[in-house]
Amino acid sequence: MLIIKDLHATIDGREILKGINLTVGPGEIHAIMGPNGSGKSTLSYVLAGREGYEVTGGSVTYDGKDLLALTPEQRAAEGVFLAFQYPIEIPGVSNTTFLKYAVNAIRRHRGEQELDAMEFLKLVRGKTRALGISDDMLKRAVNVGFSGGEKKRNEVLQMAVLNPRLALLDETDSGLDIDALRIVADGVNALRSPERSMVLITHYQRLLDYIVPDHVHVLAWGRIQRSGGAELARELEAKGYAEFAERAA
Amino acid sequence: MPNSPSARRDGAMAAEQSGTTTMTSAIQPYLDSFHDLIPGLPGAGLGWLDRLRHDGLARFAATGFPSQRVEAWKYTSLRALERSVFAPAGHATPPAIDRLPTVAPDPRTAHRLVLVDGRFRPDLSSVPASVAGIASAGLADLLAGSPGDVPTTLAERHLGSVATLETGLTAVNTAFVSDGLVIHVAAGVAVAQPIEVVFIATGGAAASPTLHHPRLLLVAEPDSQVTLVEHHVGLGDGPYATNTVVEIVVGDRAVVNHTKIQREGQGAIHIATTAARIGSEGRYDHFGLTLGAALSRNDIVPILGAGASCRLAGAYLLRGRQHADTTTAIEHSAPRATSRQVYKGVIDDTAHGVFQGRILVRPGAQKTDAYQINRALLLSAGAEIDSKPELEIHADDVKCSHGATAGELDDDQLFYLRARGIDRDDARRLLIGAFVGEAIDEISDATVAAAVRALADAWLTTPAAGSQKGMGS
């Protein structure tokens, strides 16, 4: 599904990713953990195609395609979804309009018929009901005036509607209290499927209490330092990142 | 721009003959033509009208067209108007009645009054039978003694009472005032259906550039309510100029919603003064959509009575080498009046937007509440905006605030949309549309707002610079 080989990336000439290797199989859930400044968010942005990051070496193959050669919108249309750590507010554009544009852009890319207003509403209503999201949130401008929890639930709603095959969740747990975290995690768990791979990027182990990963990787100094199963996350929770922070000093 | 060699020739000759200063020579042909034209103008011989025209001419002779040395004209040059001599508009052939532009959802039931090159055309206009309490007449007909059901003395009482002769532009319009439209809304009458006044300019096709000075007078008597759409459309992209003066009298407790849509041709100069006098507890809302003309200037000048409210909003969407200047001057002349201004500009290529917003609070206008914002979105490195707020406050118990911003599209927002599969062009259009939409939301009439939104969307989907059309579908 996703094969990252020796990926190097810089921002403003500063190298952040220094040779990432990672393979994610279909339906697998991988967690990438690491201290602040280790390159976790950079990795998610590079995979989603954000401008400003320069890939200076390595390759990323997604579903047999060169992911790095695609524009952000092409990646999304191919089934890559990034849940943002800080979802962006877009005044003047309603959530409904935003989602409808997105759904139909992706359908066009796939050569499918665009949904009309009725079909679209039916699709979205089904998802909001399943996720326990009020219709009121659809009418409001994208993320404007949303609480932290609402923003993250809105990301999960978008993921549910767009039905990606590879979901990158960047610090989805940040800024959430325990109740909000549980709601968001339930939403993500509901979307687990053998056809959907997920990469959870997180600083804390607590998210992994709710979404149990198949594989855990520790990212520090721009490289994956250790990989293991779910037990690695618990070990980090007990010991902290001190081992990785010292070498950085 | 109207500076083709043929358009220049007459002006150059006039300059040699008069041998005086540039400014005087530039307006000399206009002054000369006045004396030829005046006996033939409608209503000539009416004492009050003769005086008004002569006052206008005298003022114009003294001031000429505004120059950039005048503070209020610092960003906008009318040299193009001085460089060539514009002839009065002739009798051009308008489009067929069923091809006329309109914002009405169904043209068959529209209340639509049409002027072609400044001349009222009853044959192209339609007034629904069900309308009661609203009367309209061509200004020329009214001045010539055929007022229809408009009160006979309406022009005498109100013409020139709101738009002062302060600038040379209002003065020259007044000097040559001949045709236009007068609308009267009787006291207590509330009309939901918008009245659309369509100004069609056929200019650009004729051999020499033309200039016309249409005049619109709307009198809304106390406790009346009316929605006016002023729709300017150019049929050709050659040079022509229009110098419109709109006078609006808002009676006590009356409500006037006014939307102006400017879609002149690419070669046009569009100059307009909109002056409104708002009676006590009255309301005047004005929205301006600027899409057309090479050079445009909108002066919006409301005077607020006690407890009156005024909401000015607008969107100027510019590309190519367009220059569009919106200058507002709100005068709080009595206590407890509120004003609100929300302007949005989208500027591409090397276009130039200007917004000047003046708020004057007269002594004694206590409890004034005035707000003003101008935001500009610059889509290219060559795009330019000059924004100048100006507060002049002579009362101590007032609330006045203003703001201006200029910036580019937000990269984070663009990436967010693209990360959801929306391609770059659509993402840009969504964001620009949302930006402009915040100003369009100020329009209270849903039908008019929808028409304005559709025109703004059409502008957004027009692919490249220089491809804008004077007349869309």
Per-residue pLDDT tens digits for B175-219: 999 899 999 999 999 999 999 999 999 876 556 788 889 999 999
CA–CA separation, B228 and B448 (whole Å): 10
- B348 Cβ partners below 8 Å, 6+ apart? B318, B319, B320, B379, B380, B383, B465
Q: Which fold has domain A2-248?
A: Rossmann fold (3.40.50)
Contact B421 A87 (CB under 8 A): no
Question: How many beta-carbon pairs under 8 angstroms link A with B?
Answer: 73
- pLDDT band per the 50, 70, 90 thresholds, residue B447: very high
Task: Give the HSE-up count for residue A120: Cα atoms under 13 Å, Cβ half-sphere.
Answer: 20
Q: What does DSSP say about strands B338-347 and B369-378: parallel, antiparallel, or unpaired?
A: parallel
For A98, nearest residue in chain B (alpha carbons): B417
CA–CA separation, B95 and B93 (whole Å): 7
For the stretch B308-343, pLDDT in tens is: 999 999 999 999 999 999 999 999 999 999 999 999
Rounded mean pLDDT for each run of 10 residues along chain A, 249 residues in total:
97 95 96 90 96 96 96 97 96 96 95 95 92 89 94 94 96 86 89 94 89 94 93 86 65
Residues from chain B that touch A102, judged by Cβ atoms under 8 A, are 417, 420-422
Residue A57, Cβ density class (10 Å: 0-12 exposed, 13-18 middle, ≥19 buried): middle
pLDDT of residue B298: 98
- pLDDT band per the 50, 70, 90 thresholds, residue B261: very high
Element (H, E) at B363: none
Contact A101 B430 (CB under 8 A): yes
Contact A90 B417 (CB under 8 A): yes
Contact A73 B421 (CB under 8 A): yes
Could you tell me what percent of chain B has a pLDDT over 90?
Answer: 73
Q: Please, what sign has the CA dihedral across residues B140, B145, B150, B151? A: positive
CA distance B302 to chain A (A): 29
Q: Please, what sign has the CA dihedral across residues B453, B459, B462, B467? A: positive
pLDDT of residue A246: 53
Domain boundaries, chain A: 2-248
Please, what is the Cα angle at A105 between A111 and B432, to 5 degrees? 150
Question: Which of B418, B421, B430 has its CB closest to that of A93?
Answer: B430
For the stretch B65-118, pLDDT in tens is: 999 999 999 999 998 887 766 676 666 676 677 778 888 888 888 899 999 989
CA–CA separation, A221 and B305 (whole Å): 69
CA distance B435 to chain A (A): 7
For the stretch B142-159, pLDDT in tens is: 999 988 889 989 999 999
CA–CA separation, A228 and A221 (whole Å): 18
B433 at A interface, C-beta within 8 A? yes
Return the axis-axis angle of helices B22-37 and B5-18, rounded to nearest 10°.
100
Question: Which of B413, B420, B438 has its CB closest to that of A158?
Answer: B420
For the stretch A12-62, pLDDT in tens is: 999 999 999 999 999 999 999 998 888 999 999 999 999 999 999 999 999
B123 at A interface, C-beta within 8 A? no
B416 at A interface, C-beta within 8 A? yes
Domain boundaries, chain B: 5-461
Question: H-type helices in B130-269, by residue range?
Answer: 139-143, 154-158, 168-175
Mutation pick from B375, B422, B438 vs chain A, by most beta carbons of A within 10 Å, is B422
Share the mean pLDDT of chain B: 88
- A212 Cβ partners below 8 Å, 6+ apart? A29, A230
What is the DSSP-derived secondary structure letter of residue B344? E
Chain A residues with CB-CB distance to B under 8 A? 48-51, 71-73, 75-77, 81-82, 84, 87-88, 90-93, 97-98, 101-102, 105-106, 109, 158, 162
B408 at A interface, C-beta within 8 A? no
For B439, nearest residue in chain A (alpha carbons): A92
ipTM, two decimals, is: 0.96
pLDDT of residue B464: 52
